[in-house]
Copies of this chain bind each other. A is one copy, B any other.
Amino acid sequence: MTVAKIGIVTVSDRASRGEYEDLSGHAIIDTLNDYLTSEWEPVYQVIPDEQDLIESTLKDMVDNELCSLVVTTGGTGPAKRDVTPEATEAVCDRMMPGFGELMRQESLKFVPTAILSRQTAGLRGSSLIVNLPGKPKSIRECLDAVFPAIPYCIDLMDGPFLKCDDSVIKPFRPKTK
Protein backbone atom coordinates (compact mmCIF):
# COMPACT_ATOMS: atom_id res chain seq x y z
CA MET A 1 0.00 0.00 0.00
CA THR A 2 1.32 3.41 -1.01
CA VAL A 3 2.04 5.86 1.77
CA ALA A 4 0.20 9.07 0.92
CA LYS A 5 2.41 12.13 0.90
CA ILE A 6 0.63 15.31 1.91
CA GLY A 7 2.23 18.75 1.62
CA ILE A 8 1.62 21.35 4.32
CA VAL A 9 2.74 24.86 3.41
CA THR A 10 2.52 27.65 5.95
CA VAL A 11 2.74 31.01 4.19
CA SER A 12 3.61 33.70 6.71
CA ASP A 13 6.32 36.35 6.81
CA ARG A 14 6.45 36.30 10.59
CA ALA A 15 6.34 32.54 11.14
CA SER A 16 9.07 32.10 8.50
CA ARG A 17 11.30 34.54 10.43
CA GLY A 18 10.63 32.60 13.62
CA GLU A 19 8.73 35.52 15.18
CA TYR A 20 6.02 33.17 16.28
CA GLU A 21 5.25 29.50 16.32
CA ASP A 22 3.48 28.07 13.32
CA LEU A 23 0.26 27.07 15.08
CA SER A 24 -1.69 26.78 11.82
CA GLY A 25 0.66 24.32 10.15
CA HIS A 26 0.63 22.19 13.28
CA ALA A 27 -3.18 22.40 13.42
CA ILE A 28 -3.29 20.94 9.89
CA ILE A 29 -0.96 18.07 10.82
CA ASP A 30 -2.94 17.36 14.00
CA THR A 31 -6.23 17.40 12.12
CA LEU A 32 -4.96 15.04 9.41
CA ASN A 33 -3.65 12.70 12.11
CA ASP A 34 -7.12 12.72 13.64
CA TYR A 35 -8.80 12.04 10.31
CA LEU A 36 -6.56 9.47 8.62
CA THR A 37 -6.16 5.82 9.57
CA SER A 38 -4.17 4.91 6.45
CA GLU A 39 -0.45 5.71 6.46
CA TRP A 40 0.55 9.22 5.44
CA GLU A 41 3.68 11.32 5.50
CA PRO A 42 3.75 15.10 5.85
CA VAL A 43 6.04 17.25 3.70
CA TYR A 44 6.17 20.48 5.64
CA GLN A 45 7.46 23.97 4.81
CA VAL A 46 7.16 27.43 6.36
CA ILE A 47 7.79 30.21 3.86
CA PRO A 48 7.31 34.00 3.60
CA ASP A 49 4.53 35.67 1.57
CA GLU A 50 6.51 35.82 -1.69
CA GLN A 51 4.56 34.75 -4.75
CA ASP A 52 7.58 33.26 -6.56
CA LEU A 53 8.57 31.23 -3.54
CA ILE A 54 5.02 29.99 -2.92
CA GLU A 55 4.82 28.88 -6.55
CA SER A 56 8.16 27.07 -6.50
CA THR A 57 7.31 25.38 -3.20
CA LEU A 58 3.95 24.15 -4.51
CA LYS A 59 5.58 22.91 -7.73
CA ASP A 60 8.28 21.09 -5.79
CA MET A 61 5.76 19.39 -3.52
CA VAL A 62 3.71 18.16 -6.48
CA ASP A 63 6.37 17.46 -9.11
CA ASN A 64 9.29 16.24 -6.99
CA GLU A 65 7.86 15.17 -3.64
CA LEU A 66 4.84 13.64 -5.41
CA CYS A 67 2.33 14.84 -2.83
CA SER A 68 -1.19 13.92 -3.96
CA LEU A 69 -2.59 16.64 -1.73
CA VAL A 70 -1.04 19.97 -0.74
CA VAL A 71 -2.71 22.16 1.88
CA THR A 72 -1.65 25.78 2.41
CA THR A 73 -2.43 28.11 5.29
CA GLY A 74 -2.07 31.88 5.26
CA GLY A 75 -1.84 34.62 2.69
CA THR A 76 -5.47 34.53 1.53
CA GLY A 77 -6.71 37.88 2.87
CA PRO A 78 -6.72 41.36 1.30
CA ALA A 79 -3.47 42.61 2.90
CA LYS A 80 -0.82 43.72 0.42
CA ARG A 81 1.42 40.70 1.08
CA ASP A 82 -1.41 38.14 0.74
CA VAL A 83 -0.80 36.35 -2.56
CA THR A 84 -1.35 32.65 -1.85
CA PRO A 85 -4.43 32.34 -4.12
CA GLU A 86 -2.55 34.02 -7.00
CA ALA A 87 0.39 31.62 -6.57
CA THR A 88 -1.99 28.67 -6.41
CA GLU A 89 -3.81 29.68 -9.57
CA ALA A 90 -0.49 30.22 -11.36
CA VAL A 91 0.68 26.64 -10.75
CA CYS A 92 -2.65 24.87 -11.33
CA ASP A 93 -3.89 23.64 -14.73
CA ARG A 94 -7.51 23.47 -13.63
CA MET A 95 -9.35 25.27 -10.83
CA MET A 96 -11.82 23.88 -8.27
CA PRO A 97 -14.05 26.83 -7.31
CA GLY A 98 -16.29 24.75 -5.04
CA PHE A 99 -13.71 24.56 -2.23
CA GLY A 100 -13.40 28.30 -1.69
CA GLU A 101 -17.15 28.79 -2.04
CA LEU A 102 -17.92 26.20 0.64
CA MET A 103 -15.25 27.42 3.05
CA ARG A 104 -16.45 31.02 2.78
CA GLN A 105 -20.04 29.88 3.25
CA GLU A 106 -19.10 27.92 6.38
CA SER A 107 -17.07 30.79 7.83
CA LEU A 108 -19.95 33.19 7.14
CA LYS A 109 -21.89 31.38 9.85
CA PHE A 110 -19.35 32.77 12.32
CA VAL A 111 -18.06 36.09 10.93
CA PRO A 112 -19.25 38.49 8.19
CA THR A 113 -15.61 39.08 7.23
CA ALA A 114 -15.52 35.55 5.77
CA ILE A 115 -16.07 37.14 2.35
CA LEU A 116 -12.58 38.68 2.62
CA SER A 117 -11.06 35.19 2.35
CA ARG A 118 -9.82 34.79 -1.18
CA GLN A 119 -8.90 31.12 -0.80
CA THR A 120 -9.15 28.79 -3.76
CA ALA A 121 -8.21 25.24 -4.79
CA GLY A 122 -7.00 23.65 -7.96
CA LEU A 123 -5.35 20.72 -9.66
CA ARG A 124 -1.78 20.49 -10.81
CA GLY A 125 -1.43 17.30 -12.83
CA SER A 126 -2.87 14.61 -10.55
CA SER A 127 -2.53 16.56 -7.31
CA LEU A 128 -5.02 18.68 -5.42
CA ILE A 129 -3.90 21.98 -3.87
CA VAL A 130 -6.22 23.57 -1.30
CA ASN A 131 -5.81 26.94 0.41
CA LEU A 132 -6.95 27.21 4.03
CA PRO A 133 -7.18 30.48 5.98
CA GLY A 134 -4.32 31.55 8.22
CA LYS A 135 -5.98 31.58 11.62
CA PRO A 136 -5.35 28.40 13.63
CA LYS A 137 -8.93 28.15 14.87
CA SER A 138 -10.35 28.34 11.33
CA ILE A 139 -8.24 25.40 10.13
CA ARG A 140 -10.36 22.64 11.69
CA GLU A 141 -13.60 24.42 10.75
CA CYS A 142 -12.58 24.59 7.07
CA LEU A 143 -11.08 21.11 6.88
CA ASP A 144 -14.20 19.62 8.48
CA ALA A 145 -16.23 21.27 5.70
CA VAL A 146 -14.18 20.24 2.66
CA PHE A 147 -12.30 17.10 3.66
CA PRO A 148 -15.24 14.68 3.12
CA ALA A 149 -14.80 15.28 -0.64
CA ILE A 150 -11.01 14.94 -0.75
CA PRO A 151 -10.44 11.15 -0.64
CA TYR A 152 -12.78 10.61 -3.61
CA CYS A 153 -11.13 13.48 -5.48
CA ILE A 154 -7.77 11.76 -5.05
CA ASP A 155 -9.30 8.40 -6.12
CA LEU A 156 -10.50 10.06 -9.35
CA MET A 157 -6.92 11.15 -10.06
CA ASP A 158 -5.59 7.62 -9.36
CA GLY A 159 -3.85 8.71 -6.17
CA PRO A 160 -3.41 6.72 -2.94
CA PHE A 161 -6.54 5.43 -1.18
CA LEU A 162 -7.10 7.55 1.94
CA LYS A 163 -8.81 5.72 4.80
CA CYS A 164 -10.45 7.79 7.52
CA ASP A 165 -11.63 7.31 11.07
CA ASP A 166 -15.37 7.38 10.46
CA SER A 167 -16.07 8.53 14.01
CA VAL A 168 -14.10 11.72 13.24
CA ILE A 169 -14.79 12.48 9.56
CA LYS A 170 -16.93 10.73 6.96
CA PRO A 171 -15.38 10.75 3.51
CA PHE A 172 -17.94 10.24 0.75
CA ARG A 173 -17.33 7.92 -2.17
CA PRO A 174 -20.26 7.56 -4.60
CA LYS A 175 -21.12 3.93 -5.44
CA THR A 176 -21.03 4.41 -9.21
CA LYS A 177 -18.83 6.62 -11.30
- Residue numbers of A with Cβ under 8 A of B are 77-80, 82-83, 85-86, 94-102, 104-105, 108, 111-118, 120, 123, 126, 128, 146, 148-149, 152-153, 156-157, 172-174
Contacts and interface: CB of A to CB of B under 8 A. Distances in A.
Given A118-B94, A118-B96, A113 B78 contact: no
A97 B118 contact: yes
Contacts of A120: 97
B118 A172 contact: no
B78 A111 contact: no
Contact of A80 (B78, B100, B116, B157): B157
A142 B114 CA distance: 16
- Quick one: which of A114, A115, A173 has the most chain B CB within 10 A? A115
- Quick one: which of A80, A95, A112, A172 has the most chain B CB within 10 A? A112
